[in-house]
A and B are shown apart, each in its own frame.
Chain A
Amino acid sequence: MATLPDGTPLPGKLFIVEGIDGSGKSTQLDLLHKWLISEGHLVVFTEWNSSPLVRRTTARGKREQLLTPLTFSLIHAADLADRMEREVLPALKAGAIVLADRYIYTAFARDGARGVNTDWVRRLYSFAVRPTVAFYFKVPLEEALRRILVGRPQLKWYEAGMDLGLSPDPYECFRLFQKRILGQYESMIEEFGLTVIDATRPLVQQQQQVRALLTPHLRGLLEGSLSPWREVLTKEGLHGRYLNVDKLPVQREQ
């Protein structure tokens, strides 16, 4: 179950994925998302740094390089707090499944890598719901770098950790920054009981493992119909020609 910080259990389930860039966690979460919907569950998806209220400030701070390790940390906490209050908590109270691409451990890892006091960051996030299962996609640094850096993509300033000045070369800086983050993650496995998935295994096998681990948690949850209009179409002999299927609320309907 997912529990409030004070230990109160919530009817819904919170599953989160963590790992360094290039660990393949988002791909796995996406597969999981589609599977859970096809199983008839009501699923709410949320991702790191996506609160509409906070994002503009974060985006400007990043673009203009205004963020220091301290303000970087605080603004990301504001992002999660906003999503917690609007998306995560209501859904969990209603008994739905919430999937989160990155969670508090991302903040602990990145802020720790930036030299922010680790105890302080943990207390900062004490408002966060404790997840039902927290998956950590474990991958060696060089493998993750190979996946990310193929084709030499343009790395963003903070993404590469350029604010830390570890190296003037963005790629080298990124490598050193990711190495630090990886170190932070490794130390959190035991601290928070993260469920480790070997992210070097074939994609399909990882997904099988993730599904097997989740299955025991999927009883008695809120159901959501994938396409609630389908029944009408069948019974009334309609085609749904004027239904704009892309724009219809698919999961949050009920």
Chain B
Amino acid sequence: MTKIRYYGTGDIPGFDRTDLPGRLVVLEGTDGVGRSTQVALLHEWLEANGYAVTQTGLARSSLVGPGLSRAKQGHTLGDITLNLFYATDFADRLEKEIIPALRAGFVCLTDRYIYSMIARAVVRGVEYRWLKDLFSFAIVPDAVFYLEADLEHLVPRVLAGEGFDYWESGMDALRGDDIYGNYRTYQTQLLAEFRTIGEEYDFIRIDANRTVHEIFLDLRQRITPVLRGMRLDA
């Protein structure tokens, strides 16, 4: 049983603090580290083992998703506004998807949680204290797996994938139009920030410099204790 715990004092209005039988499992990490691949693999593996699974990610809620995409296209949101937008989106998913799924007994696999939002914002100069307060309505996950790869491993993966993204290269925050240079600078800052945040929020560090298969086996092994008590035989 997962006891609902919030990071802060901020109780969500209208939700009681009854226990939730599901499990909230978060995968965190910077762009290109392979989060979505691992989420997809875990999803299938968990289902094959008889668990009911749901997935959520950032900026996907039915409330804010469209507005956020539109605003980002124009690169028109200020930092505080952008984070409030993200927070709204996150709150919407928390209330409408995550908590109901946990209440129904699902394993909720979450591709990024509040930590990515906090790390990105801190790198852009938003005050950490304010962000921590802002997201204090978030419930504490059962496990946060932080996929950590160093820059030398990340760059080829990004190149093989969709290429350097405007936001993931910090083009909005850094000067100049050298997207590769900016990517390195920005991701270095982001990795450092994740390390700081990770200590505060009890990240389980997963070495993501390895192959997809190795990472998957590692995750599978570490997720098992989190699921304990969900099935009669486990």
Contact = CB atoms under 8 A, between A and B. Distances in A.
Closest 5 CB pairs of A and B: A57-B67, A78-B84, A85-B78, A74-B88, A115-B13
Contacts of A75: 63-64, 84, 88
A114 interface: yes
Interface stretch (A42-50, A120-128, A170-178, A220-228): A120-128
Contacts of B76: 53
Interface stretch (A13-21, A63-71, A187-195): A63-71
B158 interface: no
Q: What class of interface size applies to chain B in its complex with A?
A: 20 to 34
A197 interface: no
Given A66-B62, A86-B78, A126-B130, A74 B91 contact: yes
Interface in A23-55: 51, 53-54
A127 B77 contact: no
A231 interface: no
Interface size class of A (residues with CB under 8 A): 20 to 34
Interface in A130-187: none
A61 B95 CA distance: 14
Contact of B9 (A54, A61, A77, A117): A117
A56 interface: yes
A99 B144 CA distance: 46
Nearest to A82: B81
A189 B68 CA distance: 36
A124 B133 contact: yes
A4 interface: no
Interface of B: 8-14, 62-64, 66-68, 70-71, 76-78, 80-81, 84-85, 87-88, 91-92, 95, 130, 133-134, 136-137
A70 B13 contact: yes
Contact of B91 (A71, A82, A119): A71
B77 A82 contact: yes
B80 A127 contact: yes
Contact of B10 (A114, A120, A127): A120
A67 B91 CA distance: 10
Contacts of B134: 123-124
A82 B67 CA distance: 14
